[in-house]
Structure 1
Amino acid sequence: MSEQSSILEGVLEVWARDVREHNPERVASYFTEDAVFQGFDPRHTVGRPGITAYYDKQPVGLDPDYRVQEVRPLGDDAFLAFVDIDFARPSGEVIPTHLTLALVRDGAEWLIEQYHVSKIGA
């Protein structure tokens, strides 16, 4: 596993845990202060307050199951990632998606700077 793949796995692991635990502030803390975020809403948002609001309105018990498909370096301090995620709702409905991420190094941390999810088949 490459260093960037390992970093990505670490970020996704805590992101998924905090989505499951419905902790929107913690989820938003994995993003840069000025992150561009496109979830299922028709409009994107920029910054942690909008990301927090997005995850706050998600159902308690939402369970993301992710599979990394590709990691592409952009330099020493940035990379792109392509991930498939099945979001299981508490009702049992599963929403298959593609996720594109850009991660950047911020001091000792790696944060999500760009997040774009799209439903498969939508």
Structure 2
Amino acid sequence: MDILTEVLDAWKSAVDAHDPERVAAVFTEDAIFQGLHPYSVGRNGVAAYYDSQPLGMTADYRIVETRRLAEDVVLGYAAVDFGFPDRPTLSVHLSVIVRKAGDRWLIAHYQVSRL
């Protein structure tokens, strides 16, 4: 869980700061990214997605489950609340696969669901 917490804390910090490039840096170069809009592959798509989000949006998460799939791969499932200054909170479910890349853990797969 420490690995997933470290990665999601970095993601949350960048989301809360509305820093799309820093959000994208938490992902692998070839990450599969599925937010609430059509999917993309790679950091450019991640940056574009978060750049389109409203200023003041924040992310609060709670890890629900983790599984170590291999020494360098972790699966995570989290509940996430995206807060907005001008509308109700959006609660979603997030599945991620994080992979060790050199000395860092990065998100290789990200999928959000409202269900």
Same topology, TM > 0.5: yes
Q: Is the 8 A contact 1:59 1:90 kept in 2?
A: no
1:83 positional shift: 0.3
Structure 1 segment 83-94 matched on structure 2, within 5 A: 83-94=78-89
Structure 1, unaligned runs of 5 or more: none
Q: Does 1:9 align with 2:5?
A: yes
**Partner residue in 2 for 1:58:** 53
Q: Could you tell me the TM-score, scaled by structure 1's length?
A: 0.92
**Partner residue in 2 for 1:22:** 18
Structure 2, unaligned runs of 5 or more: none
- Whichever residue aligns with residue 107 of structure 1, its letter is G
Q: What count of residue pairs does the alignment treat as equivalent? A: 115
1:92 positional shift: 4.0
CA distance in 2, matches of 1:17, 1:63: 9
What RMSD in Å do the two structures reach over aligned CA positions? 0.8
Residue in structure 2 matching 1:105, options 69, 85, 100: 100
CA distance in 1, matches of 2:107, 2:71: 15
Identity over aligned pairs, percent: 44
**Partner residue in 2 for 1:34:** 30
Q: Runs of 4 or more off by more than 3 Å in structure 1?
A: none
